[in-house]
């Protein structure tokens, strides 16, 4: 047996020779980023070993580390097997979600206070009846009418946000947020559908998610000084795959044509049945979904933005791992979804990281040179999604990349002070932002693919309704990631048409605020379900024009 010691955690494990370093660290409680779930394709699970430790691991052949990184002692944990005793130093950077910036706020809709769950005290029996609509859920001894709470939960592909709400007053009492722990197994919904299609994979994905939601429920309750057992209802808002995984439904049909729905939301499940630790009588409401790839996060957004009652032409776009969008024309709605991929979250990017402390989040180029800002105003350690779109957008605007996305580092770019940022790493050109953070040609390609997917969706949805970009009155950018973007960058990239300039509004986490409206006003659930049933869902996978439009949208 080999010993693996992590002094900073006070942990020593005994493992069989040949054990995976990634799995060993996971067992020790170190949550390394591994979007490809250990398949060796993302290059994110990097571990730095001291010189005398390197002989105690055997690494499979791969090209995901540079020569300089190898010389510094980095190995890929998923490709490294243990063949001797190891002592590994860990730090706060290994803690998943440490310092992560997650947006919980968003544009909300004012609703009348009519929750689904209510309580009535019976003096004759000195007991309190708990009702779900007109159905009796149970009876509690004494007068507990003063304790009635709910949770509005946004289950994103990447992040989780939970808000604790007093159902008697409508007041938000506390929030909690973190990474979605499922992200360690895969960044996008397709990888999770694949894993969740097997019983053990589904159990793993659901178990990790519910455990994290239980932690959020306990944390928010502790902040507010309430007992989690006094939480009687939760609303889960998320894309269709996230809802399936949250309640333990096999997602296999979502991953293959014709993408059949086995559940459509607008329903309750028992909290105890899925392991959610709130009241034993508690219920979980799942908002309606419109298709396999236009889910409850978008129906919640439709409610929060009040799209069914908005006059004019309004485009609602949730930018993230999935690019989901809704076009409203005087309340008539068309929806679609495109697979943008994880680049906007900083994944599959050479120096990419999530929006946490030390991430470069802003980049600008001018005659004075290059300027940047990091989250927390600390030393830069990587490039998050907003910084990525900024630097690529600035290079596109200033001639640093051509319309096809190729670096212009050999004299064709304008002669500006920031031209000195061009360097070579392992013989390939890169644009050095600062210190250890740079942009590669591969990174630009990843941005192109992601932005082209969203732009193609916008163009085809407008075409479906006989509109041009100039006819759009308002553009609402939703989602935690979208809130940190600059309109200028989105237009410079070509993710949004230039005609949208001056019409863009950032509305934040409408998945969470829409869930909160559903929690506080149960009649809104029926209205939203009826609206969802009338939405024209444009399936781009079957659209013969998608490939051509996508290729045209690659250009900057």
> Tokens 């989040």 label which residue?
361
Ordered domains of the chain (ranges, CATH): 2-94 (3.10.20.30), 117-295 (3.30.420.480)
pLDDT recorded at residue 199 = 97
Q: How far apart are CA 551 and CA 403, in angstroms?
A: 12
DSSP 378-409: ----EE-HHHHHHHHHHHHHTTSB-TT--B-T
Q: How far apart are CA 475 and CA 473, in angstroms?
A: 7
189-196 helix and 199-224 helix, angle to the nearest 10 degrees: 120
Q: How far apart are CA 256 and CA 238, in angstroms?
A: 20
Q: How far apart are CA 487 and CA 9, in angstroms?
A: 43
Tell me if 165 sits within 8 A of 171, measured CB to CB: yes
Please write the tens of the pLDDT for every residue from 504-518: 999 988 999 999 999
Residue 5 is classified by DSSP as E
Cut 0.85: pTM above it: no
- Per-residue b or e along 495-526, where b marks 16 or more CB atoms closer than 10 Å to that residue's CB: bbbeebeebbebbbbbbbbbbbbbbbbbebbe
Tell me if 556 sits within 8 A of 401, measured CB to CB: yes
The count of other CB atoms within 10 Å of the CB of residue 18 is 10
The pair of structure tokens assigned to 59 is: 């690494």
Q: How far apart are CA 26 and CA 14, in angstroms?
A: 14
DSSP SS3 for 448: helix
510-520 helix and 296-304 helix, angle to the nearest 10 degrees: 80
The count of other CB atoms within 10 Å of the CB of residue 409 is 18
Tell me if 241 sits within 8 A of 193, measured CB to CB: yes
Tell me if 345 sits within 8 A of 511, measured CB to CB: no
The count of other CB atoms within 10 Å of the CB of residue 143 is 14
Mean pLDDT by 10 residues, the chain (556 residues): 78 80 75 63 76 79 75 82 80 43 60 95 96 96 97 92 96 92 85 95 96 96 97 97 97 93 96 98 97 94 95 93 92 92 79 85 90 90 90 91 88 69 91 94 94 95 96 91 76 93 92 95 96 94 90 93
The answer, yes or no, to whether the previous bond of 297 is cis (omega within 30 of 0) is no
Of 537, 534, 536, 518, which Cα lies nearest the Cα of 267? 518
> Tokens 């571990």 label which residue?
47
The answer, yes or no, to whether the previous bond of 258 is cis (omega within 30 of 0) is yes
The pair of structure tokens assigned to 466 is: 């006989």
Q: Which residues neighbour 24 within 8 Å (Cβ) at sequence distance 6 or greater?
A: 4, 13, 15, 82
Q: How far apart are CA 207 and CA 182, in angstroms?
A: 10
pLDDT recorded at residue 31 = 63
pLDDT recorded at residue 102 = 47
Tell me if 438 sits within 8 A of 423, measured CB to CB: yes
CA 92 vs. chain centroid, Å, equals 22
């Amino acid at each position: 047996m080999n010993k693996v010691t992590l002094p900073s955690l006070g942990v020593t494990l005994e493992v069989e020779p040949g054990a995976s370093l990634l799995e060993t660290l996971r067992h020790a409680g170190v949550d390394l980023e591994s979007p490809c779930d250990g398949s060796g394709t993302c290059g994110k699970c990097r571990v730095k070993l001291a010189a005398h430790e390197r002989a105690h691991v055997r690494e499979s052949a791969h090209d995901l580390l540079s020569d300089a990184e190898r010389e510094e002692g980095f190995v890929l944990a998923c490709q490294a097997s243990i063949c001797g005793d190891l002592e590994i130093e860990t730090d706060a950077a290994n803690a998943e979600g440490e310092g992560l910036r997650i947006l919980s706020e968003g544009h909300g809709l004012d609703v009348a206070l009519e929750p689904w769950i209510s309580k009535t005290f019976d003096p004759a029996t000195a007991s309190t009846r708990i009702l779900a609509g007109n159905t009796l859920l149970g009876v509690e001894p004494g007068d507990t009418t003063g304790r009635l709470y709910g949770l509005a939960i946004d289950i994103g592909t990447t992040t989780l946000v939970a808000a604790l709400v007093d159902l008697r007053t409508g007041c938000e009492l506390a929030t909690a947020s973190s990474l979605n722990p499922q992200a360690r197994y895969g960044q996008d919904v397709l990888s999770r559908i694949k894993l969740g299609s097997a019983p053990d994979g589904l159990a793993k994905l659901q178990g990790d998610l519910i455990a994290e939601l239980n932690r959020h429920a306990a944390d928010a309750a502790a902040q507010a000084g309430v007992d989690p057992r006094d939480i009687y209802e939760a609303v889960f808002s998320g894309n269709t795959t996230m809802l399936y995984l949250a309640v333990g439904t096999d997602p296999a049909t979502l991953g293959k044509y014709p993408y059949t729905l086995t559940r459509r939301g607008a329903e309750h499940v028992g909290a105890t049945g899925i392991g959610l630790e709130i009241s034993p009588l508690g219920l979980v409401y799942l908002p309606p979904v419109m298709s396999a790839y236009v889910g409850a996060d978008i129906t919640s957004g439709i409610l929060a933005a009040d799209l069914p009652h908005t006059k004019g032409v309004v485009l609602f776009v949730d930018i993230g791992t999935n690019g989901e969008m809704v076009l409203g024309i005087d309340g008539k709605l068309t929806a679609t979804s495109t697979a943008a991929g994880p680049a906007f979250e900083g994944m599959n990017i050479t120096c990419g990281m999530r929006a946490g402390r030390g991430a470069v989040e802003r980049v600008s180029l001018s005659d004075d040179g290059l300027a940047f800002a990091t989250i927390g105003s600390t030393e830069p350690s990587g490039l998050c999604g907003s910084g990525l779109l900024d630097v690529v957008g600035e290079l596109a605007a200033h001639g640093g990349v051509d319309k096809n996305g190729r670096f212009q580092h050999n004299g064709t770019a304008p002669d500006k002070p920031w031209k000195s940022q061009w360097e070579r790493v392992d013989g390939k050109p890169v644009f050095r932002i600062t210190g250890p953070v740079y942009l590669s040609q591969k990174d630009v390609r990843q941005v192109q693919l992601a932005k082209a997917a969203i732009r193609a969706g916008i163009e085809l949805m407008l075409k479906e309704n006989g509109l041009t970009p100039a006819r759009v009155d308002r553009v609402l950018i939703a989602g935690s990631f979208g809130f940190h973007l600059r309109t200028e960058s989105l237009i410079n990239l070509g993710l949004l048409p230039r005609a949208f300039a001056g019409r863009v509004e950032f509305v934040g986490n409408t998945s969470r605020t829409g869930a909160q409206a559903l929690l506080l006003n149960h009649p809104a659930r029926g209205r939203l379900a009826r609206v969802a049933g009338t939405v024209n869902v444009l399936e781009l996978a079957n659209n013969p024009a998608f490939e051509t439009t996508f290729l045209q949208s690659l250009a900057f």
